[in-house]
Structure 1
């Protein structure tokens, strides 16, 4: 197996949970970051689902690409499958990511399955804030997840006006 690239767009940006040899800002075309997944485990419950990020069709997304050395690739994929495929709301795929230095890499990414029952679709900032404010799951409060994500997105030098509005309403 060769080196593995992993594309992070949500909590993987600040908490990858695996060892990596290189990290670089990267842009994924054809998908955007969206609070479009109802979380019944990590940031909510079945009675009070929270919202977590998914890569949804359309636009583009700047996130963080991580290069994992070949010797750790298999273990990293196993870890990511246990983390990201808990309820199978994401589809594991490999997509082209343009790194900020111009290199084009194929990176493992988790794209939302629009046909899954947890797919929330496009919500207004008010609807999203309402769900986020009242949700808490195995990994903690949903507000913590969303505000941390916004902080990390800002740290990348990016802006997300819709997410800013959600956080302002919390």
Structure 2
């Protein structure tokens, strides 16, 4: 792989998925492997005012945030499909969420070896970065949100189910799902206190 202007190089690239890309990539790939990314974790830390919430009542969706580690899936994209794949991913990940940044990371493949991979991390400086909310705070926001893609609780349930179906666990998401039954605050109280709404 040789250097290019955007850092992805020429030739095939790898793409790391930590959320819906794990079960619904939507792009051409010629290899797939379970992968571990160190230094980042999957968490509900992105404010959603479109797909899983509204401007009046935002929801939360997943982001790849600094700290910890994340198990996901890496896809090898053939060179001929790289421009189309990156354009597709930028549209899918960034169009309604300017908090995401296309990033190059290093992942450990379960099949052996390490690869540089494209993924989308959160920019903590952006207004739609929700920060480190408690389990109860996350549950209270998710419980009351509904966007163009459906209810926020459905998004969380589907994510946890898919992660389990892949033989993985995400205890932080599981804790939020368990807390949905008994949020400690109303959405309005929480929004005023944590999101400034």
- Shorter-normalised TM-score: what interval? over 0.9
- Where does 1:107-146 land on structure 2 (aligned, <5 Å)? 107-146=117-156
1:88 aligns with 2:98: yes
- The corresponding residue for 2:76 is 67
Higher-Rg structure is 2
- Where does 1:50-61 land on structure 2 (aligned, <5 Å)? 50-61=59-70
Any idea what SS the aligned residue of 1:97 has? Answer: strand
2: CA distance, partners of 1:162 / 1:97? 21
CA contact (8 A) 1:11 1:145 kept: no
- The corresponding residue for 1:97 is 107
User: Is there any run of 5+ residues in structure 2 with no aligned partner, and where?
Assistant: 1-9, 181-197
1:153 CA drift (Å): 1.6
User: Is there any run of 5+ residues in structure 1 with no aligned partner, and where?
Assistant: none
Structure number with the bigger relative contact order (C-alpha 8 A, sep ≥ 6) is: 1
Runs of 4+ in 1 over 6 A off after TM superposition: none
RMSD: 1.2
1: CA distance, partners of 2:118 / 2:102? 7
TM-score (norm 1): 0.94
TM-score (norm 2): 0.82
Bigger share in strand: 1
Equivalent pairs counted in the alignment come to 170
CA deviations on 1:119-147 (whole Å, 9 max, x unpaired) are: 11111111111111211222222122111
